[in-house]
Amino acid sequence: MLYTSIFAACALPLAVAAPLCTRENNTTCGTALCNLSNVSQPTNALTPPSADLRLVLIAHGEGTQNYTCATPESAPSSIGAKAELYNASCEVANPTEAQNSIIRAQAIGNHFFADLTTPEFDIPRLGNTKSKKVEEVDAPNPSADIKWLRLQAQTDGSTSDVKFIYRLNTVGGHAPTNCEGRAEGEVVTVQYQAQYWMYA
């Protein structure tokens, strides 16, 4: 069962403006709570972001990894993913503060696939980012959770300044082991969660 998460409803921490965070009590949190300059990724073997890149958003995604069965005898094939994205920047930057302030965030955007190989992230305040997978490693619990990825933004079709996106802290999402008992062409959806660390 996927865990329940609580998120800080923060405006995107863009490089050109100090982020403001709206809480249920209508107060605001200052720059320090959402400051991502000292936030480090969870330990992983992916190529780290270069020194000239800045972490601008940590988005939490909740949705489905999607698969299809060509025949009942075939193995499921990936046909991408769909997820709603929430701003988890403050939660990660200051987890103690986030836990003390019970906040339910509204979605800030969506993740989907433009085609079978093009993950896309549409976040109105940040822009649209089309990407491609350039690296993958097993999750810490590979039997239960989908891989961690490094995605590179594509200039064709992207409107954001994002250069790389890391999919980390995945939960669930694995395809069924086989297509037995499923109809030809049937789509199988599997719930997952992940953090998307975005660098510009």
Domain membership of residue 133 (yes or no) is: yes
109: helix, strand or coil:
strand
Q: How far from chain centre, in Å, is Cα 120?
A: 11
Give the tokens for residue 123: 């976040």
- Short-list 59, 34, 42, 32, CA closest to 162: 59
Global pTM reads 0.83
Give the C-alpha separation, 59 to 81, whole Å: 15
Is 45 a member of any domain? no
Q: What is the mean pLDDT of the chain?
A: 84
pLDDT value of residue 24: 31
> Is 46 part of any domain?
no
If pLDDT is split at 50, 70 and 90, which confidence band does 163 have? very high
Whether 173 is covered by a domain: the verdict is yes
- Tell me the β-bridge partners of 66: 189
In a domain, 185, yes or no: yes
Q: Is residue 90 part of a domain?
A: yes
pLDDT in tens, 87-117: 999 889 988 776 544 445 689 999 999 999 9
Range of the domain at 181: 55-96+106-199
In whole angstroms, give the CA distance from residue 137 to residue 148: 5
Task: Tell me how far apart the alpha carbons of residues 140 and 133 are, in angstroms, rounded to a whole number.
Answer: 19
Query: Quick one: pLDDT at residue 104?
Result: 54
Domain count, the chain: 1
Query: Could you tell me if residue 28 is inside a domain?
Result: no
